[in-house]
A and B are shown apart, each in its own frame.
Chain A
Amino acid sequence: MAIQVDARGLSCPQPVMLTRRALQEAGDADVEVILDSMTQVQNCTRAAEGWGWSVDCREQNREFILTLRKPPAGHRDK
């Protein structure tokens, strides 16, 4: 079961802050972040990838769902 973060309608830097908090609490679970702006998609993607998580993005009704997955231990960059 993925942890869900609803960051719709939030301005900088809240979406990245919420995402970071979720990743810190996620353990090995996936994290889903719901966003409604491409700016925040880019910000959260860049941040999550920087922290070593893989990011998959899908668009749905002008909203975006990022699925963040922690790579297996042997494949982590950071």
Chain B
Amino acid sequence: MRKSGYFFASPAGIIVAGLIIGGLAVSLQKKGNPANMGVCVACFTRDIAGALGLHQAKIVQYVRPEIPAFCLGAFLASLLFGEFRPRTGSAPIVRFILGVFAMIGALVFLGCPWRSMLRLAGGDWNALLGLGGLVVGIAVGAAFVKTGFNLGRSHPTRVIAGLAMPFIMLVLLLLAIFYPHTGENSALFRSTQGPGAAAAPAWMSIVVALVIGFLAQRTRFCTVGGIRDFILMRDFHLLSGVIAFLVAAFALNLVFGQFHPGFTLGPGPDGKPIPQPASHTVHWLNVAGMALAGLSFTLAGGCPGRQVFLSGEGDGDAAVFFLGMLTGAAVSHNFLMVGNGPLAPFIVVVGLIVVCLIGIIGRERLPATR
């Protein structure tokens, strides 16, 4: 193993990365990012979809610089350490579909696996149900993997294919910085209220996200992978990073006064309960949404953050998964399937059936050689 990989691949490396990523996520909240959202990959991808006009939910439209900076941080790390490796061909269309349903499930819960922990660290007990659903979804996905599910091998491809996603992300980053506005009702859209209007200074988000992208590429930080590896092999390595993430986020929330425990924030002036930030209290939907997301992420090989980081190091299949997530975000909002929206129960059930079918049909013993 290369010496440069020693620390990052070590137990200390993944724990330090988890502590830093969790701490930075909560710090961005302190500096203006939405409460209990930090650096949520699902939410921020959804915001980007809105800014591009792929959906019309006016409170969640903003080209979040964190997402492209994640990818570019990973891209730079992979170049620096000789790990940029253009590859594709592992059932990309199936990965696209998994990306769509992963995002749909995540947006029913209202957050990716990272946000489920950030919500818990902020005292939102609804996140316990989401995390429970996530673990169930990952366990079902792990069962499919254990009984032969795989999406086949990827193969080396042209450099241009590996550069495509970093290039798209660079364009998004430039759009986030310069934010061109073409007219009253045309893109780029930008929320003036709601979570989409809450943002840390762009330069700060970019620097933080570049650091996170770099660290995550080096350490292979992956929330879904952590739970999956523990279930499949009792391997605690990635999970220790996830726990470190949660601990750092919780500790800093206490320091910053951002810890407000409860399923809601208590009764408002009108007597009605004030919801936790960007949340709902339909418990079965919180469980089922994240179960769908966890299952989809597991079949695709990693959490949404990991998919973005992989796309930065040349993985064209992860890039297609991300495009699926972007599409899923638009579909979710356009068809009123977000949170406890009217079509959320329907799509969660449909999604679980479709993704389970993918898991069943995709079981095929890999040959030892290709």
Contact = CB atoms under 8 A, between A and B. Distances in A.
Contacts, number: 76
B180 interface: no
B369 A38 contact: no
A46 B9 contact: yes
Contacts of B366: 10, 14, 18
Choose among A12, A18, A36 the residue with the greatest number of B CB atoms under 10 Å from its CB: A12
Interface size class of A (residues with CB under 8 A): 20 to 34
Contacts of A50: 235
Interface string B86-100: 010110000000000
A8 B153 contact: yes
Contact of A46 (B151, B237, B370): B237
B233 A16 contact: yes
B228 interface: yes
B210 to A, nearest CB: 20
Interface string A1-13: 0001110111111
A8 B370 contact: yes
Given A13-B225, A13-B228, A17-B232, A42 B369 contact: no
B137 to A, nearest CB: 16
A12 B5 contact: no
A22 B220 CA distance: 24
Contacts of A13: 145, 225, 228-229, 232-233, 301
Q: Is the interface of B mostly helix, strand, loop or mixed?
A: loop
B119 to A, nearest CB: 25
Interface in A14-45: 14, 16-18, 20, 22, 36-39, 41-43, 45
A18 B368 CA distance: 8
Contact of A9 (B1, B2, B155, B235): B155
A18 B5 CA distance: 23
Given A11-B151, A13-B228, A20-B233, A42 B220 contact: yes
B235 A12 contact: no
B220 to A, nearest CB: 5
Nearest to A6: B369
Nearest to B89: A9
B370 A42 contact: no
B150 interface: yes
A37 B85 contact: yes
* Closest A-B pairs by Cβ, 6 of them: A9-B153, A11-B301, A42-B9, A6-B369, A9-B154, A12-B301
Given A12-B225, A13-B229, 7 more contacts: A4-B368, A5-B368, A12-B222, A14-B150, A36-B156, A38-B81, A46-B9
13 contacts: A9-B153, A10-B153, A11-B90, A11-B151, A13-B228, A13-B301, A14-B150, A36-B156, A38-B2, A38-B83, A42-B5, A47-B235, A50-B235
